Amino acid sequence: MYKDNSLIPSEAIRLAALGLLWQGERSYADLAREIRHFVGRIVGPSLELLGPSLELFKIEGLIEAIDPKQPADSQVMRLTEDGRAELRRLMTTRLRGPMGEVNKLIIAFKMHFFGALAPDDQRQQLDLMIEACDKELARLGDLRAYPPVSAGNGHLPSWLDLEIAEIGARRAWFESLKRQIPG
């Protein structure tokens, strides 16, 4: 974890493994396959996201085999109580700005496992995501208004407008989702 309480890239894989097991028991091989599939579709192949081995999660007591006597690749894994606590810790972290591929992956995992959080924690996470959008909008808006950019004849101003619109739409979506949370 970074000093600002945001996840480092390998913790995104940890979040994925624990979240998938929160959804239900899976074989060791299926768990590894689902993580690779999801990560590959969100960020593409990435050396930065070669996370810790699933074996490490077993050693740490976060996941366990239902029947440890089975061969490793066919063992059915489940989340332990320590794993549930670690999942909650990972789900309630901040986002690191600006919005890059790793943050998009972390948001995708948080949205995928959103039901693991209590409504108050869900609202808090959405507030953090809205805050991250606000910071990005301010940063890009400042660049867009910078005279050498705004007066330029290149394509940077229109590209910035596109980025600003996308972030604004993401922010509105988070706001809408927050209004749907009961309580």
In a domain, 33, yes or no: yes
The answer to whether position 72 is within a domain reads yes
Q: Is residue 55 part of a domain?
A: yes
CA distance 4 to 50: 22
Q: Are residues 92 and 3 in the same domain?
A: yes
- The pairing of strands 26-27 and 63-65 is unpaired
Q: Does an H or E element contain 26, and which?
A: strand 26-27
User: Which pLDDT band, with edges at 50, 70 and 90, does 37 fall under?
Assistant: confident
Q: What are the tens digits of pLDDT across the range 59-75?
A: 999 999 999 898 877 88
Q: How many domains does the chain have?
A: 2
DSSP 8-state class, residue 92: T
Report pLDDT for 3.
65
Q: Are residues 172 and 90 in the same domain?
A: no
Same domain for 79 and 125, yes or no, is: no
- The answer as to whether 177 is a domain residue is yes
List of residues 6+ apart from 16 with CB closer than 8 A: 34, 35, 38, 39, 109
Give one DSSP letter per residue of 60-80, joined into a string. Answer: TTSEEESSTTS-GGGPEEEE-
Q: Which has the minimum average pLDDT: 32-46, 74-88, 169-183?
A: 32-46
**pTM, 2 dp:** 0.83
Per the structure, the complete domain to which residue 126 belongs is given by 118-183
Same domain for 14 and 45, yes or no, is: yes
Nearest CA-CA partner of 84 in 64, 66, 70? 64
Average pLDDT, the chain: 88
Specify the higher pLDDT residue, 45 or 42: 42
Closest to 20 in 3D by CA, of 38, 6, 2: 38
Same domain, 10 and 72: yes
Q: How confident is the model at residue 50 (pLDDT cuts 50, 70, 90)?
A: low
7, 51: one domain? yes
113 three-state secondary structure: coil
Predicted pLDDT at 100: 76
Torsion of CA 165, 2, 5, 129, to 10 degrees: 10
Q: Is there a domain that residue 108 lies in?
A: no
CATH of the domain at 61: 1.10.10.10
